[in-house]
Each structure stands twice: as C-alpha cells, then as structure tokens.
Structure 1
C-alpha cells in the first residue's frame, strides 16, 4: 500500500452496519474496512477518468482512436520491455 494516510469518516449507522455485515460474511479480518474503502475510491476514480476520456474523445471515430492507441503503445513498448527477459 505504500505510505498510509489516516482518514476520519462519518457514515450513517445503516451504512456502517451493512458494510460491517458484508465484511463479516466474507470472513472479515483486521484492515478489511480500510481495504474496502480504498478499493471503492479507486473504482470511482477509474470510472470518472473513463467518463472524462470518453467525453474528450466523443468526436473521434474508431479508426482515429485505434491510431492514437497504436501510437501510444509504440512509444511505450521499448521502455516497457527494456531489461526484461522474454
């Protein structure tokens, strides 16, 4: 997880009970609540990023998008494979 930050959150009692019940049904252990919150935040950030990218590229056709993806991949590929054994 890297360096940790401490958050102080307030949620409704119903939400607290529902989440703790869910985590307990999965065999919850110490740290599961923090992990759940972090994963939920990361999913929401990913959803928002996808929404922004789609909005930004709504006027591009499939061929243009594929060309941009191919260009980005060709720029990254040499650095990605450098120093790796195949």
Structure 2
C-alpha cells in the first residue's frame, strides 16, 4: 500500500508542478517543485478525492495544521497516516 500511496501522491504533485513523476524526489519541497499556494490547494483537493480522506489543512495558515507539507516525503507520510487512521 505504501508504494501505491507514494506513486499516487507523486503523480498528483507532478501534475500540479507540470513535471514528470520521475523528476520528483522525496526530499524536494513544494517550493522546489514550483507549486504555489493555489497549486497546493488543488493538490490537497486531489489527494482528498484520490484517497477518500479529509486533509486537516488550513489554506490561510498552511503551517498551522497537522498535515506536514514540508517535503514530498512528508506529504506521502501524512497521507499514509490519514489512510491508516481511516482503516483503523
């Protein structure tokens, strides 16, 4: 499941960044990828739709939420956590 989540999250971020998924590295930040605040919100909506989860994210204060958006790997981990909590 973890690889599946990772691949889907990377595909969503790649679409927002207009990059190939293979160009995205786990250590990159959204800023590194060229994803702005609007792109972030669109990515969050896409993640919610793809994984049928509710992301605890405040677009007005992205750093205030429990959803870590610091790197690609952090986003993947946060989505995995949401999926695990949903299945528990």
Structure with higher RCO (Cα < 8 A, 6+ apart) = 2
| Structure whose CA Rg is larger | 1
TM-score (norm 2): 0.29
